Amino acid sequence: MLFLAFAGGALVGGAAALLLAPRSGAETRRRISGAAHDTKEAATRMPQAIREATSAAQAAFVAALKESEGEDATA
């Protein structure tokens, strides 16, 4: 919950800094558009990263389980 509050505050602060910075309107719109594009790119990569992390965690769990079963059989 604390992390969400921190992230929300960071987003609001970043937006305020962009909007209140002494730049032309065209420059501000270009920067906002670039930030939106970067965020969209990161969001499209996220599901693949989650699948890869899940697969790696599953493989590690299976390996640990097999190792644990091997130790139980020798004990």
> What's the whole-model pTM score?
0.42
3-state helix, strand and coil shares in percent for the chain, rounded to the nearest 5: 90, 0, 10
What pLDDT does residue 73 have? Answer: 59
Give the number of other CB atoms < 10 A from CB of residue 32: 13
What pLDDT does residue 11 have? Answer: 85
**pLDDT tens digits for range 31-48:** 888 888 888 888 888 888
**pLDDT tens digits for range 46-71:** 888 888 999 999 999 999 988 888 77
CA distance 41 to 34: 11
In the structure, how many helices (H) and strands (E) does the chain have?
Answer: 2, 0
